[in-house]
Amino acid sequence: MNFGVLLPHYGEYCDRRRLIDGTKRLEELGFGAVWVRDHLLWTPHGMEGSDRTFLDAFGTLACVAGATERIALGTAVVIPIRWPLKVAQDFATLSFLSDRQVHAGFGMGSNRAELAAAGFDVDKRASIFSETVEICKQVWTEDDVSFSGEVFQFSDVSLRPKPVRPIATWYGGTTRASVRRAAAHCDGWLPGRLPMATLDDRLALLKDLAVERGRPLQWGAIPIVCVDEERDRAFERVNVPALATSSEGSANWIRPSSGEFKTPEDLEGLLVAGDPDDVVREIRKFEARGIDQFVFDLRLQFDSYEDKVELIGREVLPRFI
């Protein structure tokens, strides 16, 4: 299990020094990866405040890579707002300049206006995603590539430099359809927030698809994490109704026995909260399910981001070594 952190590269607490110095510290503490989100037109969820600051995914990763030596770099996830050859070049450049593992997470985006503003036909976003991944894989490993798809066409293209090591590809999304897309096109599945019962349903499908396709499929999770030395203080940040409706895929979640998400316990899997002992116990549930990438999403505590990663690095990570 590899531990990563979602960087605070958006919202009111986004700060250049916080990103650079914070990532240096993450590397020192033993975290394995940093991850960023991707938006062109970003509207914050209520739990994220109202500040619309949002730094570009590739620029952010390049910045923190220049300040560190080995921590892996990932997107969770890139949405269809760029021409595929440009996406391939951006990832390859990031790999070449950072000389380390890069994780290319892809998604289809949920904001139709955002995709339209970038000049794409939103009704073709499934093809845009699949063709983008296929184009990236080809030009990362081959020269003189030609491609003819439903959306994109080109001839005799070579991109240099190639990535310094294979770039892992991931698909986001929380539905069963997203699991099928991950299995069909990527190395792994990296959903956002999911309650545990829904996660188990998707993991069963992922396992079946891995057997069907005859290759291993990795998976990861990005739960909301609220941690404090005093567990009551951690739970003070948790707004259960807001979290229960904070994902575009929540309509497809398996409901608790009560029929509604009413308590923090109902959000098991989506939420990891409490003191370090609580956090360790919750992470063990992911570990028992064979998780490959566990990403701490500390957005509810970005105001005390540095303190929280210190606490996790000091009292949580050592218990998984």
- The end-to-end CA distance of the chain, in Å, is 10
Could you give the C-alpha distances from 230 to 11, 75, 234, 263, 316, in angstroms and in order? 26, 32, 7, 19, 14
To the nearest 10 degrees (0 to 180), the angle between helices 84-98 and 125-141 is 40
Count the alpha carbons within 13 Å of 310 in the hemisphere toward its beta carbon.
Answer: 7
Can you state the angle between helices 84-98 and 57-65, rounded to 10 degrees? 10
Strands 72-75 and 293-296: unpaired
Band (pLDDT 50/70/90 cuts) for residue 9 is very high
Residue 297 has pLDDT above 90, yes or no: yes
Mean pLDDT in the chain? 96
How far is it, in rounded angstroms, from Cα 221 to Cα 1? 11
Confidence of residue 321 (pLDDT cuts 50, 70, 90): confident
Tens-digit pLDDT profile for residues 67-123: 999 999 999 999 999 999 999 999 999 999 999 999 999 999 989 999 999 999 999
**pLDDT of 50-70, one tens digit each?**
999 999 999 999 999 999 999
Residue 9 phi, psi dihedral angles, 5° rounding: -100, 20
Q: Is the pLDDT of residue 282 over 90?
A: yes
Task: Decide if pLDDT at 158 tops 90.
Answer: yes
Which CATH homologous superfamily contains domain 2-320? Luciferase-like domain (3.20.20.30)
The encoded tokens of residue 231 equal 């567990």
